[in-house]
Amino acid sequence: MVGAALAKTGWQRIPSHPAIRDWADAARTAACATLASSTDPWRCGGTWFVGVDALPNGPDGSIGATPFPWSALPLHPEPLHPAQLSVIRPGYPQPSPDESAAAFAFRRDRDAAHLDGLLPIGPEKARMVKEPHAWILGLPLNDTTASPLTVWEGSHHSLRAALTEALAPHPPHRWGDIDLSAAYQTARRQIFATCPRIELAARPGEATLLHRLTLHGVAAWKPGDSAPAEGRMIAYLRPLLPDVETWLTAP
């Protein structure tokens, strides 16, 4: 399912390729149109447009007449969801009413580090695997080094071990309904103490690929950072696997 480099470190930078650049250019045009017409609220005090399923790519990944750059990626073609459009503005993050003081501090100081697919469910916000992604692909849409994607190298090994132990008493068909909050929080603390934090800035034409179990986040906007008028824009794709067992046990 993943290459040797991705299996070892949990992340991979994909070098610039004309096909990736062509797709990024088409996606940026579509993204700017989306931002101009969207009524979705910006989070974090108006500094983050979440943009889930916001880009108008087809199931084959194409945007208009521009094909998805499968040939330039270490991935097999498969049906894709509309890409997330993550946009960051200067000053990210800012406090907001929908986030506690502790949550804001974690976003500011720890990049809001998280594991995709492990969602807060119910009034207790129990962490459960509800979206077992196959991989996480980031495609920068404009030229900026502001608020890059951050990863904790090797964190996928720690998270796999912790979640495997927590789920072992349960049959695999129930894994998606098990509260993993305690195991996840303990593993995350260990990761912060032992795994290198890496900033993965990338330019249009390049891409970043993460192992599905890699802990990752987004860096705060630093003094001196700059971006085009629309803000820092990255498209993200995360196709789903058929079940949680595959998500946890496959390479």
pLDDT at position 244 = 98
113 vs 76, 108, 121, 191, CA distance in Å?
A: 28, 10, 18, 10
Which 8-state DSSP code applies to residue 248?
A: H
The confidence score (pLDDT) of residue 4 equals 81
> Which tens digits make up the pLDDT trace of 156-181?
999 999 999 999 999 999 999 999 99
Q: Mind listing the pLDDT tens digit for each residue in 77-117?
A: 999 999 999 999 999 999 999 899 999 999 999 999 999 99
Q: Cβ neighbours of residue 239 under 8 Å, at least 6 residues apart?
A: 78, 79, 80, 81, 133, 134, 135
- Cα–Cα distance, 124 to 104 (Å, whole number): 19
Query: Which pair of tokens denotes residue 11?
Result: 């992340």
Which pLDDT does position 72 carry in this prediction?
98
- The parts of the chain modelled with pLDDT lower than 70 are 1-2
Query: What's the pTM value of the predicted model, to 2 decimals?
Result: 0.97
For the chain, how many residues are written?
Answer: 251
87 and 230 Cβ atoms separated by less than 8 Å: yes
Which distant-in-sequence residues (6+ apart) come within 8 Å of 17 by Cβ? 69, 72, 205
